[in-house]
Amino acid sequence: AIAVADDVVRPGSAVSVLAGLNMIGNYPLAGEPDPAVLFRADTVGLREQPRFRAISERIGLERYWRETNIRPSFLC
């Protein structure tokens, strides 16, 4: 599951979100990654995995959290 989540947020991957309705009801551009899927209620188990932090670092979330002094609720 964590490998699929990593692919979902990787631009141009085979499983990145295509144009149209995505998993949370938005309409992204074709091939645009959908990081919101990482924070759905049914993906809570992913956030507990050590590799999740590597994904959030790669897509810039860790930097954002550091720069804004925000601690995500899943880390509390």
- Taking residue 46's Cβ as centre, other Cβ atoms within 10 Å add up to 20
pLDDT attached to residue 66: 93
Q: Which residue, among 10, 17, 8, 75, has the nearest Cα to 47 in the 3D structure?
A: 75
Tokens standing for residue 21: 């309705």
With a cut of 70, which residues of the chain have pLDDT below it?
A: 12-34
Using a 10 angstrom Cβ sphere, with 0-12 exposed, 13-18 middle and 19 or more buried, the burial of residue 32 is middle
pLDDT attached to residue 4: 75
